[in-house]
Chain A
Amino acid sequence: MSDKKEINIVIAMKREAISLINYWNLKENKKNIFSNKENKINLIISGIGKKKAEKATFYIAENTNKENFFLNIGIAGHKNFKLGDIILISKVTDNKKKISWYPSLLWKTKIKKSSLTTVNFPKIRYNTNDLYDMEASGFFKAARSFVGPEKVQCLKIISDNKDSSILNISSKKIEDWVLSKTVIINKLVNEFLKI
């Protein structure tokens, strides 16, 4: 990979991003993009929902390098996975449009992998064995218009399951879950940057 290539990270909420912003010492520029050029990381907070994720992904691509690596990080629900578990996504399906994206799984990692479905509204019942989120399909739609499946990835942290519904999620818990996974995320980001 050329030295100029960076990673563009799209995260829905500030409370999901704050631990990573601090860990990587990212500074916000005039364009609302948090960056650390030394670490080759750009991060944008998109807001909740796939439309906003799509728009933010286009925005960060236009304002950085369209050939960059793209990563979506956020929380998601799953029937059985433990709260705070980190998952590398192997398939993203848009629940409404029934379109799927398959990120290439090239990384040597012990992180669990799973499929994910993006829904328009928070999910209370987990009908399948997929994770459920509200942003990934919008992010993939936009990012994959710039680069191929090797360079668009998605990491989710489990925030709710059949024993602990979305009603139990708090800002503090989200920050703690992400904080506890920053080292793992950082390691994977460095792997991503090697391609």
Chain B
Amino acid sequence: MIETIYIEKQIKDHQRTKEILSKFKKKLDIIYCDHYGEIFNIKSQNFRIQKKKPALILAKKIGKKLHKIPSSFSIGGKENYYFSHMLNCIYDCEYCFLQGKHMSAHYLLFVNYEDFFLEIKKKILENSTKKYYFFSGYDCDSLAFDGVTGFIKYFLPIFKQNKNAILELRTKSNQINKLLKHEPIDNCIVAFSFTPENISKLIEHKVPSVKNRIKAMKQLANIGWKIGLRFDPIIPACNFAKIYDKLFQNIASNIPEESIHSISFGMMRFPKKMFKKMTKENSNKRLFSQPFENRNGIFSYNKKLENKVENIILKKLKKYMKKAPIYNCQV
């Protein structure tokens, strides 16, 4: 629960700041700052300690808002970009790269959505015949904090009007109320991330159960939303072939295949600096006891393990979901 909110002075009177503050019923400690970096970017912060009680930081995003994504992480498009209206996530997954990426565990929310839209608009106007893919769940969960952020309410109508822009909302949440109230739009994919239930219970802290997420996904599919399935990272635990088989079967029996836009999967992978920070702060976690190797600055499983896991996953996915395109997010 949020008890402290830091607000950049320059956006204290922004309409969205006021809307966000109005959503908190409990008394908050509000602290004004000149720039979010005074709190978020300072060195020597302890991510794990902060994660126990993160604050919310409201700020204005200055500078570049769209970032290119390598084609190996695409879901069928050639022009792929991510944008981050928020940094950090309300969940606490032990493998999450965010704990190695940022100095702070506080939730940083950029309230100037309009400026993100201007950059998206500029990009899609470059060539109206091209399809541009925009991913909103790279630095945060797209839906989990929507009750506070109002992200869906602002961005969906924009994408509805711009058909050559495709939005991927990536989530581990079951916060779908806003989507259920909204007419489905063809150029929006609601992508759910999964690991098998027994793994999720152990290492995806605060994340809704697999059962509840499948239920949410089914509700959306039933009213016409396009669904994405994301198995990234794949966790090669004991009996992993069996437990992933069970997960895929469970999903396939609940979601009609024609509702599935795409499936993607990938191994755990971290840039060197991030990997070092994460292993230092999580030295006791079994997750990092896997045989990682440094491949051109990216730490991932060794090639032998990776090939073995990939083959099994592909085979199992094709067993239950024959028609949906499958993408392997490779290092």
Interface residues of A (CB under 8 A from B): 90-91, 100, 102, 104-106, 113, 115, 144, 147-150, 195
B238 within 8 A of A: no
State A115–B4 Cα separation when bound (angstroms): 13
Contact A102 B6 (CB under 8 A): yes
State A99–B3 Cα separation when bound (angstroms): 24
Interface residues of B (CB under 8 A from A): 3-4, 6, 29, 31, 33-34, 38-39, 42-46, 49-50, 52-53, 55
Contact A102 B52 (CB under 8 A): no
Contact B6 A105 (CB under 8 A): no
Asked, given contacts A100-B33, A100-B38, whether A105 binds B3 with beta carbons under 8 Å apart, the answer is yes
With beta carbons under 8 angstroms apart, the residue of B3, B34, B46 that contacts A148 is B46
Contact A106 B53 (CB under 8 A): yes
**Closest B residue to A144 using CB positions:** B44
B4, B29, B44, B55 interface centre (most CB from chain A within 10 Å): B44
State A118–B44 Cα separation when bound (angstroms): 23
Contact B31 A149 (CB under 8 A): no
State A195–B49 Cα separation when bound (angstroms): 7
Asked, given contacts A90-B31, A113-B29, whether A102 binds B38 with beta carbons under 8 Å apart, the answer is yes
Contact A149 B34 (CB under 8 A): no
**Closest B residue to A195 using CB positions:** B49
6 additional contacts (CB under 8 A) given A105-B55, A106-B49, A148-B42: A102-B39, A104-B45, A105-B53, A115-B31, A144-B44, A148-B46
With beta carbons under 8 angstroms apart, the residue of B33, B39, B49 that contacts A150 is B49
Chain B contacts for A147, CB-based, 8 A: 44
- 4 A-B pairs closest in CB distance: A148-B44, A106-B53, A148-B45, A150-B49
Contact A150 B50 (CB under 8 A): yes
Contact B45 A149 (CB under 8 A): yes
Contact B4 A150 (CB under 8 A): no
Chain A contacts for B42, CB-based, 8 A: 148-149
How far apart are B322's CB and chain A's nearest CB, in angstroms? 50
> What are some 28 contacts across the A-B interface (CB < 8 A)?
A90-B4, A90-B31, A91-B31, A91-B33, A100-B34, A100-B38, A102-B31, A102-B38, A104-B45, A105-B3, A105-B29, A105-B55, A106-B49, A106-B50, A113-B29, A115-B31, A144-B44, A148-B42, A148-B43, A148-B44, A149-B39, A149-B42, A149-B44, A150-B45, A150-B46, A150-B49, A150-B50, A195-B49
